[in-house]
A = this chain, B = another copy of it.
Amino acid sequence: MASDRPHHIVIVGGGFGGLFAARALGKSRNKAIGEEIRVTLLDKRNFHLFQPLLYQVATGSLVVGDIATPHRVVLRRYKNVQALMGTAYDLDTERRCVLHEYGEIEYDTLIVATGVKHSYFGHDEWRAHAPGLKTVEHALEMRRKIFTAFERAEQEPDPVKRRALMTFVVVGGGPTGVELAGALGELAHHTMANDFRSIDPREARIMLVEGAKDVLPAYDQDLRDSARQMLEELGVKVIPETMVENIEEGQVTMRSGQLVRTVPAETVLWAAGVKASVFGQVLAERAGVGLDKQGKVKVQSDMSLPGHPEIFVIGDLARYEPKPDQPLPGLAPVALQQGRYVARLLKRRLRGKETRPFKYKDRGSMAVIGRNRAVGDLRWAHVRGFPAWLLWIGIHIWSLMSFEQRLRVMLEWSWKYITRKSGSRLATGEPTSTIELRQQRGMEAEK
């Protein structure tokens, strides 16, 4: 590895894993890493998305700009790091090069952090009716669906149709599903309560469907109970031990044991399974390594691939089992710590020093439910209610990428907290045009 030119580390994917690896490898004025490392961060987007708050965009509390930051801005001060926008589609492990939309990049070391996307458990046709929540576009689609449903209910004279328009089914009772359902409850019962003339938003039905016997199955029983109670106080009906059997335009079919029922619902939101990104599968094939059932790449204890010490997989895409059959969960802190770990490992390796296996430092996890409630498992204590919510606020504002965003989000949350108003309830996306409507109705469209 000793050569004249700097060691080139290519990172594919700029989520928490990729971005924190790039930052830890970056040479800013304050750090003396030397001239030996050059980093390229390749992402199909030109921005990092703070995914844990994406549900707040979907429900109109925050706007996209609050939680998306250009990679270029985050990485501006690291002069040895270059951010590139382009979708990777293949790699050559012999030539050590990544092929992407606008060209190819040779690497000495490769870090793959392309994450996961939604899985509809083999029913991809459900996607059209039940958007998930992984990208900015998903969040805007959800936002459009949610607010359009209320707008249409306001002018629907038929009570049966109105009921379907005001029924919201959230599939999946993990943290995302719980936070989404809680935000919907808050929206219907408080934020929008006085904004309509014909309907009462408080009559909205919000159903949270979960296969296990409780929401937040990864949490301890007392926190699960608290979460359920908080959801019910916001008018969310928790439906446990129930699997979705079918999703069609305007209705969901679900099974609880022997009982099968079909619920008319115009808005179905998907917060259930995930599967590995396609680039992960390409990588596994090219590098000859194994995948788990979700398509995640099995990694060694230093996050590298067997037989490929120069290739690392981190974040949601990696399947790492510190103990047999106990893989690490797909959470931002795991990805972030793995990014920093691999950066440190590479710096040590370049200097010929020994390296140690990755060890996840679990500081616990939290889920927020509505305006001023949350549950949290901090490992050394369980927190809930208002103090938990304050802690959650603090952690999330602190974790945002830029000082500007911290200020803005703090301002927006304070504003919303004091006034219970929220002005970001925008149904964006091209509306039906007059010409389309006239064509649909068999009229001649004027030019």
**A84 touches B (CB below 8 Å):** yes
Residues of B within 8 A of A45 (CB): 427, 431
Residues 420-434 of A, flagged 1 when their CB comes within 8 A of B and 0 if not, give: 010111111111111
A148-B427 contact given A65-B65, A434-B279, CB 8 Å threshold: no
In the complex, residue of chain B having the shortest beta-carbon distance to the beta carbon of A429 = B137
In contact, B434 and A87 (Cβ under 8 angstroms) = yes
Q: Mark A45-69, 1 if CB is under 8 A from B, else 0.
A: 1110000000000000001111011
Closest to A282 in B: B446
Residues 355-373 of chain A: 1 if any B CB is under 8 Å from the residue's CB, otherwise 0?
Answer: 0000000000000000000
Q: Contacts of A437 on B, CB cut-off 8 Å? A: 87, 89, 101
CB closest residue in chain B, given A86: B155
Which of A141-188 touch B at CB < 8 Å? 147-148, 151-152, 154-157
Q: Which of B70, B87, B152, B430 contacts A426 (CB 8 A)?
A: B70
Task: Say whether B63 contacts A430, CB under 8 Å.
Answer: no
Q: Tell me the smallest distance from the CB of A219 to a CB of chain B, in Å.
A: 33
> Are A423 and B69 neighbours in the complex by a CB distance under 8 Å?
yes
Say whether B195 contacts A421, CB under 8 Å: no
Across the two chains, which residue of chain B brings its CB closest to A157? B103
Instruction: Please state if B432 and A155 are interface contacts (CB–CB under 8 Å).
Output: no
Contact with B along A108-140 (1 / 0, CB 8 A): 000000000000000000000000000111000
Tell me if A415 counts as interface (CB < 8 A to partner B): yes
A408 touches B402 (CB 8 A): no
Contact among B192, B277, B426 with A68 in the assembled complex (CB-CB below 8 Å): B426
Given the interface pairs A425-B46, A434-B277, the reply to whether A446 lies near B285 with Cβ below 8 Å is yes
Contact between A404 and B408, CB atoms less than 8 A apart? no
Contact B412 A102 (CB under 8 A): no
Question: Chain B residues near A424 (CB, 8 Å)?
Answer: 65
Residues 263 to 312 of chain A near chain B (Cβ within 8 Å): 277-279, 281-282, 285
Please judge, given known A-B contacts A47-B426, A70-B423, A423-B70, whether A438 and B89 are in contact too, CB under 8 Å. yes
Assuming the contacts A46-B426, A73-B421, asked whether A198 and B90 have C-beta atoms less than 8 A apart, the reply is no
Report A333-359 CB contacts with B as 1/0, cut-off 8 Å. Answer: 000000000000000000000000000
Instruction: Say yes or no for A196: interface residue by CB 8 A criterion.
Output: yes
Does chain B have a CB within 8 A of A393?
no
Tally A residues with Cβ within 8 Å of B.
79
* Contact status of A136 and B69, CB under 8 A, knowing A421-B404, A434-B282, A435-B278: no
Residues of B within 8 A of A90 (CB): 438, 441, 443
Is A85 part of the contact surface with B, judged by Cβ < 8 Å?
A: yes
**Which residues of B are found within 8 Å of A135, using beta-carbon distances?**
430
Rounded to whole angstroms, the CA-CA distance of A163 and B193 in the bound complex is 54
Considering only CB atoms, which chain B residue lies closest to A445 in the complex? B278
Query: Please, which residues of chain B bring their CB within 8 A of the CB of A431?
Result: 44-45, 87
In Å, the complex CA distance between A66 and B64 comes to 11
A102 closest partner in B (C-beta): B155
A295 to B440, CA, bound (A): 23
A433 & B47 in contact (Cβ 8 Å cutoff): no
Q: Is A28 an interface residue (CB 8 A)?
A: no
Q: Does A76 contact B (CB under 8 A)?
A: yes
The 8 closest A-B pairs by CB, nearest first: A63-B65, A89-B437, A85-B151, A44-B431, A278-B434, A281-B446, A82-B197, A65-B424
Known: A65-B426, A82-B197, A102-B156. 10 other contacts (CB 8 A): A84-B155, A85-B148, A86-B151, A87-B431, A87-B433, A89-B434, A103-B155, A404-B415, A404-B419, A405-B423
Q: List 18 A-B contacts (CB under 8 A).
A: A44-B432, A46-B147, A46-B151, A46-B425, A63-B63, A64-B64, A73-B421, A79-B197, A84-B155, A85-B152, A87-B432, A87-B433, A87-B434, A89-B441, A281-B446, A282-B438, A285-B446, A402-B423
